[in-house]
Amino acid sequence: MSPNRPRWLAATALVLSVIVSGCGSSSGTPSAATAAPAAATAATATATTAPAAAATTAAVATAAASCPTAATVGAALGITVSNPIGVSGGGGTKLPAGATGLACDYRGTGLNVIIELIRNIDPASIALFSSKFPVAYASVSGVGDQARSFSQPLNGGKDNEGVVATKGTTLVAITATATPASLAQLEALVSQLL
């Protein structure tokens, strides 16, 4: 595993979190863990948080079921990846009313692909994504209504690459770390998913 891979995964999760927090507001309802009195017993705390953990696991499984298939991603990028893992994000922060979001993580041998799909969101949100790119972005023509990409070399001849695009109120972002895929392949997959 590349030493930059965990950092890039964390940065990508942060981008989704920033999008979610920048576009929505917190529900104001405390979680079961913070609502429990400090004097509660460990058994009560475990019983209180177990349903929340089960709900999170169910949400991640549902998200993974809604993700593009591994075959779709693999064929588009010329790689072999695992079945998608739904990534929960936002720390309880909600998307704007009516918006829905999904983050999918695909792993392969020494590589990683993350796809984020958000529907019913302000197209200006593309700026939040591209502001978190590790290097300056380039505008991309012919992909959605607007698109931006980046490419950052890693050690050993590998690259981090990403494309974010909007079409109407749909936003798709793909980040590929240490894959042989070209930006053109990422752009084609983004276009397919828009």
pLDDT digits (tens, 9 = 90+) for 141-150: 999 999 999 9
CA–CA dist 144, 113 (Å, integer)? 20
Widest distance between CA atoms in the chain:
59
Confidence category of residue 2, pLDDT binned at 50, 70, 90: very low
Q: Are the C-beta atoms of 131 and 32 separated by less than 8 Å?
A: no
What's the average model confidence in pLDDT over 42-60? 42
Amino acid 157: pLDDT: 77
Of the listed ranges 51-60, 76-85, 167-176, the one predicted with least confidence:
51-60
Helix then strand then coil, % of the chain, to nearest 5: 40, 25, 35
* pLDDT in the model for residue 62: 55
Is the CB of residue 111 less than 8 Å from the CB of residue 176? yes
Q: Is pLDDT of 170 > 90?
A: yes
Q: Please, which pLDDT band fits residue 60 given cuts at 50, 70 and 90?
A: low
Read off the pLDDT band of 125 (50, 70, 90).
Answer: confident
The reported pTM is: 0.69
Q: How far is CA 97 from CA 66, 74, 93, 169, in A?
A: 20, 33, 12, 13
Q: Sheet holding 146-153: strands in order across?
A: 85-86, 100-108, 111-119, 170-177, 159-167, 146-153, 138-140
